[in-house]
Amino acid sequence: MSRLIGVGMGPGDPELVTVKGVNALRGADVVVVPVMDTGERGRAEATVLHYVPEEKVVRVVFALNERSDRARREAAWDAAGERVAGLLARHACVAFATIGDPNVYSTFTYLAQTVAELVPGTVVETVPGITAMQDLAARSGAVLTEGTEPLTLVPVTAGPAVLKEALNGPGTVVAYKFGRRAREVAEALRDSGRLEGAVWGSALGLPEESIRPAAELDGTPLPYLSTLIAPARRDGGRGSKL
């Protein structure tokens, strides 16, 4: 029975992979990396290449860019699933490198389902990875949670109502995937009085890294993989250090 291991690569800094993740990459027969249909090198691939030789890496195209429609993305997932199923027929252990954590908004979840249907009996495992909100907290000084504060993680793609409801609560709110909806996010922050202390970031750990106070969000579209932290309402105003 072959094993398929989803390995979390963290947000982009190669040092933010766990020791377990590095060992999983090195122990696998092949390491699959998702690449855009443009063919450019993604973060997962760049991180993998810090730890394993290029000969062991298999590039599989996913139409992961924001402009793809659902049908096209699903077709790409199915094709990718078939590629990975083919690899599992020839290898005892296949690793799949995914940015962030394989159980948090990861393509790996869909891939594993497709593969489980194509190759019944495949053993699916995951190795956790550092998420963008954790890296942004560390780099900006914005504490995610303390004491009895709840934390809500909201993909802005869920619609503005979900984000607004979370911002009206007392806890920390993290928004993912806002990209072209930066204006909505900025408005929701202002309307809920949560602009102060909030911070956003993109390309964390990469040369083009950008980390700024959310008050500077002016509605200009941001990279799709942007992250926002609006810290819980706290006495003493401990937001980010920015």
Q: Which residue ranges make up the site for its own copies (CB under 8 A)?
A: 8, 10, 13-20, 22-23, 101-106, 109-110, 113, 124-131, 134-135, 137-138, 141-155, 157-159, 162, 166, 171, 238
Task: Give whichever of 45 and 101 is closer to its own copies, judged by the CB atom.
Answer: 101
Question: Quick one: which H or E segment has residue 26?
Answer: helix 19-27
Report CA 138 to chain centroid distance, whole Å.
16
Minimum gap (Å) between residue 173 Cβ and its own copies: 10
Cα separation, 210 vs 9, in Å, equals 20
CA distances (Å), origin 240, targets 139, 152, 190, 198: 9, 18, 17, 7
- Alpha carbon distance, N-terminus to C-terminus of the chain: 51
One-letter amino acid at 110 equals Y
Task: Give whichever of 127 and 188 is closer to its own copies, judged by the CB atom.
Answer: 127
Cα separation, 71 vs 146, in Å, equals 41
Task: Give whichever of 16 and 217 is closer to its own copies, judged by the CB atom.
Answer: 16
Minimum gap (Å) between residue 210 Cβ and its own copies: 18
Task: Give whichever of 119 and 144 is closer to its own copies, judged by the CB atom.
Answer: 144
Q: Give me the phi and psi of 69, to 5 degrees please.
A: -85, 170
Task: Give whichever of 39 and 147 is closer to its own copies, judged by the CB atom.
Answer: 147
CA nearest to 184, candidates 170, 106, 192? 192
Residue 157 near residue 177 (C-beta atoms within 8 A): yes
Minimum gap (Å) between residue 79 Cβ and its own copies: 19
Cα separation, 156 vs 195, in Å, equals 16
Task: Give whichever of 81 and 129 is closer to its own copies, judged by the CB atom.
Answer: 129
Minimum gap (Å) between residue 223 Cβ and its own copies: 19
Minimum gap (Å) between residue 137 Cβ and its own copies: 4
Minimum gap (Å) between residue 218 Cβ and its own copies: 25
